[in-house]
Amino acid sequence: MYDDLFQPGDICVPRSFTLGAATAAYQVEGGANSGGRGRSIWDTFSHTPGKTEGGATGDVAADHYHRVHIDLDLMRTLNLDAYRFSISWPRVMPTGEGAVNPDGLMFYSRLIDDLLDRGIQPIVTLNHWDLPQSLEDKYGGWRGRETAHAFETYAEIVGAALGDRVAVWSTHNEPWNNSFSGYGSGAFAPGGTSHADALAAAHHLNLSHGLAVQALRSTITRPDAQISVALNNFRIEPEGPDDADAARRFDAIANRIFTGPMLRGEYPDDLILDTAKFTDWDFVKPGDLEIAHQPIDLLGLNYYEVMHVRANPAFDPASESDGGTDFPGSERIEFVRRDDLARTGMDWGIEPRGLEEHLVALSEEFPSLPIMVMENGAAFRDTVVDVDGIPAVFDVNRVNYLSAHVAATVRAVERGANVIGYLVWSLLDNFEWTAGYGPRFGLIHIDYETLERTPKLSSRWFAELCATRALPVRTPSSEKAHAEREGLDAAATL
């Protein structure tokens, strides 16, 4: 379908670089009531009227659970080095603790074997937000310290079962969203609106990260396995010299609240001061920070855009709420929408420079820690066209986005950043949380009516990158075809 449209360009990634694609269980699996799976907080939340666009749920999603062999063969055509996926905790342990569901564990064990049979390395996330509902009911979810210990046991069980084959483990995906969007703003499951609860949840995620690292270290046997955490560590840029404190404040509450405990064994002093009105941090117990600060082998970075911040000129201290806003102290900060930037279908600014700068900065901040870009990608409204009876998606805008961000990653490496991989978000179009199924991030298009898969132009672009390790560029003959298609895609926004 997409033959002769690309040829290897001049920008190359090292042969040792890991190139792959990523998904998450609740966003792609479906099979919500199949194979002994228990309920998660996202099942509850998405089935609550008004919480997601159009009442969308992950009941079916892309039906990856039942169509995984189709997707595995598609991954092989993409020449992927690795596939990042998450394990649904309630699929493996329906109540989050106690009994293990053998069918759930077997699903992931077979997936890992099938990936390895295709020469694709498994990168496994233990927690991509779909906490077992039972733990929310019993302990208050991540607000409760007990959940951190339940997570440790879950990690032990999964590490023992799959740890002979998994190449890279991530304990958590974006603890920022898990805590602040989940327990503080009300935006994500379970829909909590207390900043004090969100701060406690953030701490228990830090604690559980350390407990899970220890559990994995004691159970995994693959000698070259690496343990990581995937953080949406934000690239933050103040608008002007008077906005430096706004940038500092956001960096403390969004970035250093996790890198501090996990990578330094401490909470930053400014964070404690900034949040004094919300909590006295009494949920931090002696020894917690030593546990959280376990050595890890790799830092996962999820990058989408630069956060341009400025101080809110109209901030009124009396207006500072205890919850229901994006994060504690969010009223003090404004995020600036840069009109000079091209934007994705979700109106996110397209700024590959930010990825380059952030990788260089993170590598300088943590020089002994290799970094893997574990998520980068863009949502666009993708149009399926019929080409001589064959469906196709000419997502030229996604090709341009991915090409620019892989090039930015290569530039960061050339500047000395210790970056060892880049994973596209996402392999498949999927459930974009509260936004439902409108935003499409996949290299592969999903028809949600028929569940038919259609590889997009970007999947061919990425397949050629993985095969040649050189960024593909358009062949001269394809310029006209692209121009025609680009006009089509450029007009389509979400």
Which CB atom, from 311 or from 424, has the smaller least distance to ligand GCO?
A: 424
Candidates 97, 334, 356, 375; catalytic one: 375
**Closest by alpha carbon to 25, among 131, 117, 116, 154?**
131
Token reading at 332 = 């003090």
Token reading at 320 = 């500072």
Which CB atom, from 128 or from 293, has the smaller least distance to ligand GCO?
A: 128
Q: Which residues contact 387 (CB under 8 A, 6 or more apart)?
A: 1
Cβ proximity of 128 and 173 under 8 Å: yes
**Site for ligand GCO, rule CB under 6 A:** 24, 27, 173-174, 177, 232, 302, 375, 425, 432, 441
Q: How far is the CB of 48 from ligand GCO (least distance, A)?
A: 19
Q: How far is the CB of 379 from ligand GCO (least distance, A)?
A: 7
375 is catalytic: yes
The label of the residue with tokens 């595995």 reads: 72
Q: How far is the CB of 229 from ligand GCO (least distance, A)?
A: 12
Task: 72-77: list long-range contacts, CB under 8 Å, 24+ apart.
Answer: 72/111, 72/114, 72/115, 72/118, 74/444, 74/453, 74/455, 74/459, 75/21, 75/115, 75/118, 75/120, 75/427, 76/118, 76/119, 76/120, 77/455, 77/459, 77/463
Q: Is 400 left (phi over 0), alpha (psi -120 to 50) or beta?
A: alpha
Which CB atom, from 152 or from 375, has the smaller least distance to ligand GCO?
A: 375
Q: How far is the CB of 174 from ligand GCO (least distance, A)?
A: 5
- Is residue 98 helix, strand or coil? coil
Which CB atom, from 177 or from 478, has the smaller least distance to ligand GCO?
A: 177
Q: How far is the CB of 187 from ligand GCO (least distance, A)?
A: 11
Candidates 152, 156, 174, 334; catalytic one: 174
271, 305, 310, 348 from 341: Cα distances, Å: 31, 11, 18, 9
Q: How far is the CB of 175 from ligand GCO (least distance, A)?
A: 11
| Rounded Cα–Cα distance for residues 312 and 331 (Å) | 7
Which CB atom, from 58 or from 455, has the smaller least distance to ligand GCO?
A: 58
Angle at 350 between CA 437 and CA 243, to 5 degrees: 115
Dihedral angle over CA of 223, 229, 232, 236, nearest 10: -90
Q: How far is the CB of 270 from ligand GCO (least distance, A)?
A: 25
Which CB atom, from 23 or from 294, has the smaller least distance to ligand GCO?
A: 23
Which CB atom, from 169 or from 425, has the smaller least distance to ligand GCO?
A: 425
Q: Which residues are marked as active site? A: 174, 375
